Amino acid sequence: MLRHIISMRDFSRDEIDIILAKAKEFEPIARGKESNLLSGKILATLFYEPSTRTRLSFETAMKRLGGKVIDLGSIESSSVAKGESLADTIRVIGNYADAIVLRHPREGAARMAADYSNVPVINAGDGAGHHPTQTLLDLYTIMRESSFSGLRIALVGDLKYGRTVHSLAYALSMYHADMTLVSPRQLQMPEVIKKDLKKQGASIRETTSIEEVVSDVDVLYVTRIQKERFPDPAEYQKMAGSYRITGELLEKARDNLIIMHPLPRVDEIDPAVDRTKYARYFQQSFYGVPVRMALLAMAMEAA
Ligand code: CP
């Protein structure tokens, strides 16, 4: 069956647990053990927006599993620059590859692409919409570095435009996590998402103060203020630097706290925090490889 990966809302808790378990099996291959599981398969990567981790961890995952990758390259050097539509681009690339990874600035673009595709489409981020593969690696990080049991987590920063926190909040509600949403009032989680979460029985509270929550949580999930999504640059300037995780703030932290961040960071985590026992964000970026291996194997029906 053609299985697209578009939103966390398309997954059940059981399916997520299976993917996380599969990712654990793939960890030795992510660290360099040989595999030919996807030998003969081709993955196409189409990034209409910048990326470092998502693009390169998908590429690493595919290559370490023995598969090959073709990349659209920069938008300026492809026929997108001549005005080719996303629908036509997807139809054509489906003739060349066994799955397509797509990042696009327009919310809903991945869902639309899936409608035109004869191979699985994997959403690598659609505007301020969703980023499900990031969420799966975030969940994997929590499983490996913390625990879902009685999990108390604070999502911090730009909860309005940050697609990683939208996807993650949906998933965390399936794990009955106690969520605190920490953001400036102007960057609160969209009402429609909060309503959905409450309908699912999620425990959420909102605050503007990180000091208020830092001593209460097991996970601080910190996000960047999404400069590129602000219609007015002056509004971004007002929000920039709203939160900064520092050694001083962490003096109140629980012993078992872990700090996560989807990266890239700008200035929301002091680099001195990297050397503390709390930092997990670079480990988190590694976990993208085994998780994306599990997703590719599933999409290409190899596992
Ligand atoms: N976390 C994340 O999506 O990073 P990139 O934008 O570098 O892919």
Instruction: Give the up-direction half-sphere exposure of residue 291: CA atoms within 13 A in the CB hemisphere.
Output: 27
Q: What does the alpha-carbon distance between residue 297 and residue 58 come to, in Å, rounded to a whole number?
A: 12
Residues 172 and 241 in one domain: yes
Number of compact structural domains in the chain: 2
**For residue 266, is it left (φ>0), alpha (ψ between -120 and 50) or beta?**
alpha
Residues 92 and 136 in one domain: no
Over range 244-265, report the average pLDDT.
97
Residue with tokens 């599981």: 37
**75-116 residue pLDDT tens:** 999 999 999 999 999 999 999 999 999 999 999 999 999 999
**Residue 296 burial by Cβ neighbours in a 10 Å radius (0-12, 13-18, 19+):** buried
**21-57 residue pLDDT tens:** 999 999 999 999 999 999 999 999 999 999 999 999 9
Q: What is the pLDDT of residue 43?
A: 98
pLDDT band at 303 (very low <50, low <70, confident <90, very high): low
Residues 112 and 171 in one domain: no
Q: Is 52 in the pocket of ligand 1 (CB under 6 A)?
A: yes
Q: What does the alpha-carbon distance between residue 192 and residue 185 come to, in Å, rounded to a whole number?
A: 16
- What is the position in ligand 1's atom list of the atom closest to the CA of 262? 1
Residue in 49, 226, 263 to alter for ligand 1 test, most ligand atoms within 8 A of Cβ: 263
- What is the position in ligand 1's atom list of the atom closest to the CA of 50? 6
Vertex 179: Cα angle to 174 and 184 (nearest 5): 135
224 and 158 in contact (C-beta within 8 Å)?
yes
Over range 125-134, report the average pLDDT.
92
Vertex 137: Cα angle to 169 and 92 (nearest 5): 100
Q: What is the pLDDT of residue 142?
A: 98
Q: Which helix (H) or strand (E) holds 220?
A: strand 219-222
CATH number at residue 75: 3.40.50.1370
Q: Is 147 in the pocket of ligand 1 (CB under 6 A)?
A: no
**Residue 247 confidence (pLDDT) above 90:** yes
Residues 156 and 214 in one domain: yes
Residues 143 and 268 in one domain: yes
Q: What is the pLDDT of residue 242?
A: 84
Q: Is 56 in the pocket of ligand 1 (CB under 6 A)?
A: no
Residues 185 and 118 in one domain: no
Report yes or no on 3 lying in a domain: no
Residues 246 and 141 in one domain: yes
- Among residues 160, 127, 148, 161, the alpha carbon closest in space to that of 7 is found at 127
**268-293 residue pLDDT tens:** 999 999 999 999 999 999 999 999 99
Q: Tell me the residue type at 254.
A: R
**Residue 302 confidence (pLDDT) above 80:** no
**For residue 176, is it left (φ>0), alpha (ψ between -120 and 50) or beta?**
left
Residues 81 and 197 in one domain: no
SS3 183: coil
Q: What is the pLDDT of residue 301?
A: 83
Residues 150 and 122 in one domain: no
Query: Distance, CA 263 to ligand 1 centroid (Å)?
Result: 6
200 and 8 in contact (C-beta within 8 Å)?
no
**187-242 residue pLDDT tens:** 999 999 999 999 989 989 999 999 999 999 999 999 999 888 888 888 888 888 88
Report yes or no on 243 lying in a domain: yes
Rounded to 10 degrees, the C-alpha dihedral 15/147/279/132 comes to 20
pTM (2 d.p.): 0.95
Beta partners for residue 153, in sequence order: 179, 219
Residues 24 and 122 in one domain: yes
Residues 125 and 149 in one domain: no
Q: What does the alpha-carbon distance between residue 70 and residue 254 come to, in Å, rounded to a whole number?
A: 45
Domain limits for position 264: 132-285
Over range 148-172, report the average pLDDT.
95
Q: Is 45 in the pocket of ligand 1 (CB under 6 A)?
A: no
Residues 101 and 159 in one domain: no
